[in-house]
Amino acid sequence: MNKFKLGPKVKFKIAKLPSKKKLIGDYTILEPLNLKKHSKELHLNYLKDKKNIIWTYLPYGPFKIYKSFRNWIKIFCLNKDPFFYAIYSKRLKQYCGMASYLRIKPNHGSIEVGHINYSPLLQNSAEGTETMYLMMKNAFENLGNRRYEWKCNNLNSSSKKAALRLGFKFEGVFRQMFIFKGRNRDSAWFSIIDKEWGKLRIGYRKFLKKNNFNKEFRQIKKLRLN
C-alpha cells in the first residue's frame, strides 16, 4: 500500500477557452480587442496620463506615438494567450482601457487576469470594478475554472491593495521571477477559487446596483466582500 498521501480526487471537466463573445454589464462592455476598431481611441485615452504612471509596472510602454502602440497591439495582444479585451464605458461612450486573461490552463481549470491598464477615465470608477466582476464571473460561471489568479510586482502597492479589495487572497511572493525594463521583479501572488465565488458574487452585485451611485456617479457604499 502506498504510504504517501495525495489530495482529494477531483471531478472536473476541462475548462473552456475565452471566446470572441462580448461580456456585457450595466456600465461596461468588454469586447475582444480589435486593432482597427479600438486602437486609436485607446491610445488617445492613454495619452491623458501625462506622467505615464499607468505604464510604470507594465513590461512595455509608454507609447507616445500611435504607430508604436498599434504595432505593439498587433504583435502582442491579438493572440489566444494572453486574450485581451477593450473596455467600453457606456456612460462615457468611449473605449477607456484594456485587460486580459493569461496563463490559461484549461486542463487544470486555472486562469489569470492581467495586463490591466485603465486610462485616467476609468480609474477609481464603477466601470473599473464592473470590468473585474465581469471577467471573474465569466472565468468561473461560463468557462468553468477552479482557480482565478492575480499577480503583480511586489513593489506595486496599489495593485496589491486592489487585489485584496476585489476579493483575492494573498498567497506569497515569488522572488526574482522576472526582469522587466532591466529591473528585477518579485511577484506577489493572489487567487480566488471556485468555492469562494458565490459569496463574492453577492457582494459585487450589491455594490454595482444603480442606487449605490449618486448623480456624479460616485459610490455611496464601498465594495464589501468579506
Question: From first to last of its 226 residues, what are the pLDDT tens digits of the chain?
Answer: 567 788 889 889 899 999 999 999 999 999 999 999 999 999 999 999 999 999 999 999 999 999 999 999 999 999 999 999 999 999 999 999 999 999 999 999 999 999 999 999 999 999 999 999 999 999 999 999 999 999 999 999 999 999 999 999 999 999 999 999 999 999 999 999 999 999 999 999 999 999 999 988 999 999 999 7
> Is the overall model pTM greater than 0.85, yes or no?
yes
Residue 223 included in any domain: no
Residue 218 included in any domain: no
Residue 115 included in any domain: yes
Look at residue 2 in the predicted model and tell me its pLDDT: 67
How many domains does the structure of the chain reveal? 1
Residue 6 included in any domain: no
Range of the structural domain that residue 155 is part of: 23-212
Residue 222 included in any domain: no
Beta bridge mates, 31: 86
Look at residue 1 in the predicted model and tell me its pLDDT: 57
Residue 9 included in any domain: no
Residue 12 included in any domain: no
C-alpha dihedral sign at 225, 90, 56, 175 = positive
Q: Residue 92: which CATH number?
A: 3.40.630.30
